[in-house]
Amino acid sequence: MAPHPLRGAAAVVGVADAAAPSGMLDGSVPQLEARMIREALDDAGLTLADVDGVSVNNGLGWAPSLELAERLGITPRWTDSTQTGGSSFEIHVQHAAAAIALGLAEVVVVVYASTPRSDFKAGTGGWGSRQAVGQNPQAEWERPHGLRMPMGAYALAASAHMHAYGTTSEQLAAIAVQTREWAAMNPRARLQERITVEDVLASPVEASPLHKLDCCLVTDGAGALVLTSAERARSLAKPPAFVLGAGTAHTHAMISQMPDLTETGGVVSGREAFRTAGLAPSDVDVVELYDSFTITVLLALEDLGFCAKGEGGAFVAEGPLGPGGALPTNTNGGGLAYTHPGQYGMFLLVEAVRQLRGEGGDRQVPGAEVALAHGSGGVLSALSTVILGTEATL
Amino acid sequence: MAPDSPPERNLPPQSVAGAPFWDATRDQRLVLPWCPACAAPHWYPRGFCPTCLSEDLEWRPSDGVGTVAAASVQPKPTERALGGRVPYAVALVDLDDGVRMLLQVVADDPWAVAVGDRVTVGWDPLPDGRHLPTAVAEG
Ligand SMILES: [Zn+2]
């Protein structure tokens, strides 16, 4: 069978991200976006003059990519403002790779910046997911009933998974424990102290069965990616991370409309990404999974095929996710311990690229050739999977 | 308002599509949007049938009996008026009619609310005369 036309047509050639142990960053969202784009272009050996496509999703204005390009003073011939929450950037990469494959753009920047922690401290509100955003079905049919969001929605999914498969709080806690082992090796991580399963269970209940240490951080954070064609990628400064496959699926917006609380659209997005890449879960060397909550990771492991449906609890309890484990996962410390500015998907991609380049430092997974980044947006609503590989995988 | 009077519940917005539902709650009646062509109810009200997209809908009464599909105890309230109730459980309830609703649970012990529990719809008054449906635990 001929390879999929998307496979290897484009590559990520520049990355940047910003996070700090304080959880706060200096600068406004537009300044941070510009800083990340500058650093990611420097990383690639390109300049703003090379950029002819932009992809951005922020809560600032009415048309994010128009406003970004105006601020940058450029005239893109390709544009994308797709907003699916935390998985937006995996979708941006999928769209950008397809556009580059068709010649609609040659150099695309994808950027994200958000400062919820600084905003809360300044009393100017947080990011969109915490605010009432006008009149919408959720305001009418869910919010009045007193479910804390977003953790309550994920708690309902955890409740259903526990009932269906006997998954335990200890097993969910094991995910947080293994993620923290990676964070302990990341000097930029917000939380760097190792924790135990007992620590997770002793932390306050936020929405049962989820404890505080099952939940992601609220920090400032920013990042950017630069993508270009495979041909041009080979002439640039760093080893390309080729886009081997990508897939997307969304199943609902409100948690009460989720078709099956124990299975996400990751079943579809993962299948599409692996099919495009011509690879299987056993080919993946390093895994970056959206970890808004520990249950998010457990569902992703099952839905992507790293273990069978219902066996995620027993799987993670064996300790495969941490340093030296069989399935190194969330090697930067994840949204649970590194940074989580509301839409974490950007940081999955940046870390995946760094691992493929061998730039992981203490956290480097030896010989990483294939990396998977799996975003989840909304309340397990929109899933998007990107598989990246080194030159050796083509 | 007297300083010690309890705060009132926030008013949920009322959409045009949801108005017949909210009107019935003034009499503590539970009605669901039905599509006669599909012979099925749906939730939430959106002004058309999500199966066949027909706008010819009827509102039919529900017995308001169902089963808990998922539950979560909230140790902190989402609005001031709920402060006196914590901890309380919130559940996804599968009504026997075939729709799933998110409802706050009325139970002596919220921590004991479990998947599979049978519940009956009850009513929580809102300041404007409408009522919010709740899930009243058996026993
Ligand atoms: Zn119909």
| Structure confidence by residue, pLDDT tens digits, B43-58 | 999 999 999 999 999 9
Q: For B44, which of A137, A146, A156 is closest by C-beta distance?
A: A137
Mean pLDDT of A172-197: 98
Please tell me the predicted confidence (pLDDT) of residue A132. Answer: 42
Residue of B nearest to A142 (CA): B102
Rg over alpha carbons for chain B, rounded to the nearest Å, is 16
Residues of chain A in contact with residue B14, where contact means CB-CB under 8 angstroms, are: 140
Of A117-121, A130-134, A158-162, which range is least confident? Answer: A130-134
Domain residues for A341? Answer: 10-121+215-389
- Strand order of the sheet with strand B40-41? B40-41, B31-35, B58-61
Cβ of residue A192 closer than 8 Å to a chain B Cβ: no
Cβ of residue A255 closer than 8 Å to a chain B Cβ: yes
Residues of chain B in contact with residue A256, where contact means CB-CB under 8 angstroms, are: 43-44, 92, 100-102
pLDDT beyond 50 at A131: no
**Chain B interface, best mutation among A159, A215, A258, A380, by max B CB count within 10 A:** A159
Do the chains contact at A156 and B92, CB–CB below 8 Å? yes
Please tell me the predicted confidence (pLDDT) of residue A123. Answer: 80
Cβ of residue B18 closer than 8 Å to a chain A Cβ: yes
Give a yes or no: residue A186 inside a domain.
no
pLDDT beyond 80 at B1: no
Task: Provide the Cα torsion A83, A87, A93, A98; round to 10°.
Answer: -70
Read off the CATH number of the domain in which A79 is found: 3.40.47.10
Residues 6 or more apart whose CB falls under 8 angstroms from that of A151 comprise A206, A207, A210, A215, A293
Please tell me the predicted confidence (pLDDT) of residue A60. Answer: 84
**A133, burial (CB in 10 Å: exposed 0-12, middle 13-18, buried 19+):** exposed
Distance of CA A331 to the CA centre of its chain: 12
What share of chain A in percent tops pLDDT 90? 94
pLDDT beyond 80 at A130: no
| DSSP, residue by residue, A301-339 | HHHTTSS-TT-HHHHHHT--SSTTSSS-B-TT-IIIII-
**A237, burial (CB in 10 Å: exposed 0-12, middle 13-18, buried 19+):** exposed
Task: For residue range A345-388, list pLDDT tens digits in order.
Answer: 999 999 999 999 999 999 999 999 999 999 999 999 999 999 99
Q: What is the largest CA-CA distance in chain A?
A: 57
Q: For residue B116, what pLDDT band results from cuts at 50, 70 and 90?
A: very high
Do the chains contact at B92 and A205, CB–CB below 8 Å? no
Residues of chain A in contact with residue B72, where contact means CB-CB under 8 angstroms, are: 147, 152, 155-156, 159, 207-210
- Give the angle A61-A64-A65 at the CA atoms, nearest 5°: 155
Whether residue A305 contacts residue A269, with contact meaning beta carbons closer than 8 Å, is answered with no
The number of distinct structural domains making up chain A is: 1
Q: For residue B139, what pLDDT band results from cuts at 50, 70 and 90?
A: low
Residue of A nearest to B74 (CA): A207
How far, in Å, is the centroid of ligand 1 from the Cα of B68? 26
Residue of A nearest to B86 (CA): A146
Please tell me the predicted confidence (pLDDT) of residue B17. Answer: 96
Residues of chain A in contact with residue B116, where contact means CB-CB under 8 angstroms, are: 163
What is the set of active-site residues of A?
Answer: 290, 338
Q: Which of A141, A143, A122, A121 is nearest to A131 (CA)?
A: A143
- A192, two tokens: 């760097």
Cα(B132)–Cα(A146) distance, rounded to whole angstroms?
Answer: 11
Do the chains contact at B75 and A206, CB–CB below 8 Å? yes
Cβ of residue A155 closer than 8 Å to a chain B Cβ: yes
How far, in Å, is the centroid of ligand 1 from the Cα of B46? 12
Cβ of residue B113 closer than 8 Å to a chain A Cβ: no
pLDDT beyond 90 at A2: no
Give a yes or no: residue A126 inside a domain.
no
Do the chains contact at A256 and B92, CB–CB below 8 Å? yes
Do the chains contact at A137 and B132, CB–CB below 8 Å? no
How far, in Å, is the centroid of ligand 1 from the Cα of A160? 29
Residues of chain B in contact with residue A157, where contact means CB-CB under 8 angstroms, are: 70
Give a yes or no: residue A374 inside a domain.
yes
Whether residue A236 contacts residue A228, with contact meaning beta carbons closer than 8 Å, is answered with yes
Task: List Cα–Cα distances, A365 to A316, A321, A371, A388, in angstroms.
Answer: 18, 12, 10, 15
Cα(A325)–Cα(A328) distance, rounded to whole angstroms?
Answer: 6
Please tell me the predicted confidence (pLDDT) of residue A133. Answer: 42
- A67, two tokens: 């406003």
Classify B80 as helix, strand or coil: helix
Give a yes or no: residue A134 inside a domain.
no
Mean pLDDT of A73-87: 97
Cβ of residue B75 closer than 8 Å to a chain A Cβ: yes
Do the chains contact at B100 and A256, CB–CB below 8 Å? yes
Q: For residue A6, what pLDDT band results from cuts at 50, 70 and 90?
A: very high
Please tell me the predicted confidence (pLDDT) of residue A134. Answer: 44
Cα(B17)–Cα(B34) distance, rounded to whole angstroms?
Answer: 13
How many angstroms separate the CA of residue B64 from the nearest CA in chain A?
16
| DSSP, residue by residue, A184-221 | TT-TT-S--S---HHHHHHSPEEETTEEGGGB-----E
Give a yes or no: residue A338 inside a domain.
yes
pLDDT beyond 60 at A231: yes
What share of chain B in percent tops pLDDT 90? 94
Please tell me the predicted confidence (pLDDT) of residue A125. Answer: 59
Mean pLDDT of A192-216: 98
Residues of chain B in contact with residue A257, where contact means CB-CB under 8 angstroms, are: 44, 100
Give a yes or no: residue A135 inside a domain.
no
Name the DSSP letter for residue B13: P
Residues with CB under 5 A from ligand 1 (ion): B 35, 37-38, 49, 51-52, 54
Cα(A308)–Cα(A320) distance, rounded to whole angstroms?
Answer: 15
The mean pLDDT of chain A is 96
Whether residue A68 contacts residue A253, with contact meaning beta carbons closer than 8 Å, is answered with no
Task: List Cα–Cα distances, A321 to A124, A178, A198, A297, in angstroms.
Answer: 37, 6, 18, 10
Here the ipTM equals 0.96
